[in-house]
Amino acid sequence: MSDWPADIFAALKALDVRQVAYVPDSGHARLIRLAHDDPSMRAVKLTTEEEGVALLAGAWLGGQRGVLLMQSSGVGNCINMLSLTRICRFPLLALVTMRGEHAEFNSWQVPMGAATEAALRLTDMQVVRAESPHDAGEIVQAAARMAFVGGTATAVLLSQRLVGAKVFVP
């Protein structure tokens, strides 16, 4: 079976990502562990996702690349802070694990999950989706190049089918 979180980690390493800001999500759990275990990366635990938008702006000011890991509910928390990204043209890279789609048991996740892609597009972020474990790493690497080399703020939505839906009730 493909180890797609390790592939994403390798893509981030290849693009010299140094600050990994996150609000945890089970879909990001392995990636977060890998970031914490890597001495060349600084994993920064956030209390809310918009902190990460601001953190990574500061990181870029100081010459470091970063990535923001969150689940789709966190995108809603970021909206006003993304004006910083847009007005200053910061090359934000965000990896968003999707909730509220494929086989979602918790209906409370559906409203923000359904609005996630449109909300990101409204803030001028480019949005790409990763659906398969076989190319998730490649898609993240391409998005990271768009951000850090091209200067385009980009979000990768990691689909719930890829990440795996939580099972509360059999």
Does 63 participate in binding another protein (rule CB under 8 A)?
A: yes
Cβ-based nearer residue to another protein, 50 or 117:
50
Interhelix angle 136-148/4-14, rounded to 10 degrees, is 20
Q: How far is the CB of 168 from another protein (least distance, A)?
A: 28
Q: Fill in the per-residue mask, 114 to 133: x = in contact with another protein (CB under 8 A), - = not in contact.
A: --------------------
Sequence-separated (6 or more) residues with CB below 8 Å from residue 139: 128, 129, 130, 156
Of the candidates 70, 75, 43, which has an alpha carbon nearest to the alpha carbon of residue 59? 43
Residue in 10, 64, 124, 161 binding another protein, rule: CB under 8 A: 64
User: Is 96:70 a contact under the CB 8 Å cutoff?
Assistant: yes
Q: Considering beta carbons, is residue 77 or 160 the nearer one to another protein?
A: 77
Angle between helices 4-14 and 29-37 (to 10 degrees): 40
Rounded distance between C-alpha atoms, residue 170 and residue 167, angstroms: 7
Residue 37 binds another protein, judged by CB under 8 A: no
The contacts of residue 104 (CB under 8 Å, 6+ apart) are 110, 113, 160, 165
Q: Does 134 bind another protein (CB under 8 A)?
A: no
- When asked if residue 50 is in the footprint of another protein (CB under 8 A), the reply is yes
Query: Should residue 26 be labelled a site residue for another protein when binding is judged by CB under 8 A?
Result: no
Q: Which stretch binds another protein (CB under 8 A): 6-14, 37-45, 121-129, 159-167?
A: 37-45
Q: Is 74 in the site for another protein (CB under 8 A)?
A: no
CB of 76 to another protein, least distance (A): 15
Tokens of 11: 């893509």
CB-nearer residue toward another protein: 45 or 121? 45
Q: For residue 68, what are its two tokens?
A: 């923001």
